[in-house]
């Protein structure tokens, strides 16, 4: 049926081509069209028209058509590359309402960067270019060190310091995040073991576990395996997950979290309030810690409403027996407000930015 549909589509599209234009079926439901046009607006409206015509040809099937456009500026350009650029533009549309996108240089820069990241990542892991930075969390009231979060940094030999938002999304797409998160967990376990052996009463350190991990059924065993190599007690390691993990295999997620908590790890929900369906995930998943996103505090107009929501979220979390960590806290007013609301821990630039292990040790170690 699928093949048949593709074939009918092919002919339906072909019917709309003008003299000297051509097309090909590439793969899956992807077609490459070589069209003649004078300006982008005119082309865009022609493509809109094509979409409507095609939808009319298949009235009983729900089809979604998207166009990525790459202009042929030079007749000797590589066709494969032009086509890939058009595909890239279309991919950037994602699930937007919009269905036509024109390729531009920024997209191509991003693609070059992605390729570089993919070429370099294995080497980087082996060469220890990825480093663990720790950002402390402080208790409200006494303002003592109460925990820390491990955040990755890439110290690239030619690019220098690369922040995570420039590579984590790429690793999440290509699966390398699995290796990187394992590395971070292992480094944290190793570090905690060392500090414990030196007599430091260590605080729990949290590690980010990307959504991609939650499809494996033996994730809990896998995590125990890494941590137990260093014989550190599980209560000094906390695992942060985002509610997006819910969108995949819910049963696996629920059973993994249960196993992890039974094994003595604290599990926290990261970025609470930044996404959607937050309350629903709290209903189904019992967790130890709720991390409230500082987004609630940003944007001046809605500050009062933000504070109201934070107050109620804290109350709710307490009723659910969860600890509350507020993150992204940048000023004293926020700290005072959160202290009043009996938030447990605060993480943010107000106290400290993420820092290398040595610096963390120098600042906070007291044997
Ligand atoms: P996240 O898990 O929500 O981490 C908190 C982010 O907020 C960190 O950004 C941190 O540096 C930043 N931050 C902390 N305090 C403040 C503040 O007061 N103001 C502002 N504006 N920002 C603050 P960072 O280190 O750039 O990490 C960004 C994201 O990358 C993290 O967000 C996390 O989603 C991801 N990430 C970082 N390391 C890892 C990792 O090892 N594994 C995985 N899976 N993701 C990671
Ligand atoms: Ca986090
Ligand atoms: Ca967060």
The tens-digit pLDDT sequence of the chain (367 residues) is 889 999 999 999 999 999 999 999 998 899 999 999 999 999 999 999 999 999 999 989 889 999 999 999 988 999 999 999 999 999 888 666 789 999 998 988 988 999 999 999 999 999 999 999 999 999 999 999 999 999 999 999 999 999 999 999 999 999 999 999 999 999 999 999 999 999 999 999 999 999 999 989 999 999 999 999 999 999 999 999 988 887 778 899 999 999 999 999 999 999 987 766 568 888 888 999 999 988 877 766 667 888 888 999 999 999 999 999 999 999 999 999 999 999 999 999 999 999 999 999 999 987 5
Any ligand 1 atom below 6 A from CB of 346 = no
Can you name the residues that pair with 304 across neighbouring β-strands?
A: none
pLDDT score of 299: 66
Ligand 1 atom nearest residue 207's Cα: 41
Rounded Cα distance between 70 and 78, Å, is 12
The angle at the Cα of 292, spanning 344 to 266, to the nearest 5 degrees, equals 60
Any ligand 1 atom below 6 A from CB of 330 = yes
**What global pTM score does this model have?**
0.84
| From 134, 136, 168, mutation site for ligand 1 pocket: most ligand atoms within 8 A of C-beta | 168
Ligand 1 atom nearest residue 349's Cα: 18
Ligand 1 atom nearest residue 177's Cα: 44
CA of 320 to the centre of ligand 2 (A): 21
| Closest protein CA for atom 27 of ligand 1 | 164
CA of 321 to the centre of ligand 2 (A): 20
pLDDT score of 52: 94
Residues 216, 177: contact at Cβ < 8 Å? no
- The closest of 253, 257, 288, 294 to 273, measured between CA atoms, is 294
SS3 144: coil
CA of 81 to the centre of ligand 2 (A): 37
């Amino acid at each position: 049926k699928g093949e048949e549909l593709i074939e009918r589509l092919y002919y339906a599209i072909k019917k709309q081509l003008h003299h000297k234009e051509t097309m090909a079926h590439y793969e899956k439901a992807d077609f490459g069209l070589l069209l003649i046009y004078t300006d982008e607006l005119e082309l865009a409206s022609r493509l809109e028209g094509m979409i409507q015509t095609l939808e009319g040809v298949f009235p009983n099937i729900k089809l979604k058509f998207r166009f990525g456009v790459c202009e042929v500026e030079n007749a000797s350009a590589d066709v494969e590359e032009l086509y890939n650029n058009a595909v890239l533009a279309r991919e950037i549309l994602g699930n937007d309402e919009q269905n036509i996108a024109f390729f531009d240089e920024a997209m191509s820069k991003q693609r070059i960067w992605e390729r570089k990241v993919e070429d370099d990542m294995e080497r980087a892991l082996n060469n220890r270019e990825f480093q663990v930075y720790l950002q402390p969390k402080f208790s409200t009231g006494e303002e003592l060190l109460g925990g820390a979060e491990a955040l990755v940094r890439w110290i690239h030999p030619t690019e220098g310091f690369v922040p995570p938002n420039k590579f984590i999304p790429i690793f999440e797409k290509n699966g390398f995040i699995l290796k990187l998160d394992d590395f971070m967990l292992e480094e944290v376990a190793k570090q905690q073991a060392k500090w414990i052996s030196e007599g430091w009463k260590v605080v729990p350190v949290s590690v980010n576990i990307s959504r991609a991990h939650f499809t494996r059924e033996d994730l809990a065993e896998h995590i125990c395996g890494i941590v137990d190599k260093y014989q550190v007690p599980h209560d000094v390691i906390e695992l942060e997950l985002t509610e997006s993990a819910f969108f995949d295999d819910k049963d696996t997620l629920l059973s993994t979290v249960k196993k992890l908590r039974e094994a003595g790890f604290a599990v926290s929900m990261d970025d609470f309030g930044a996404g959607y369906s937050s309350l629903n995930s709290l209903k189904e998943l019992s967790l130890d810690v709720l991390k409230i996103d500082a987004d609630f505090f940003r944007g001046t107009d809605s500050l009062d409403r933000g504070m109201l929501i934070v107050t109620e979220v804290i109350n709710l979390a307490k009723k659910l027996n969860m600890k509350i960590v507020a993150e992204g806290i940048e000023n004293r007013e926020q700290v005072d407000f959160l202290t009043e609301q009996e938030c447990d821990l605060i993480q943010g630039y107000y106290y400290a930015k993420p820092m290398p292990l040595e610096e963390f040790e120098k600042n906070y170690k007291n044997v």
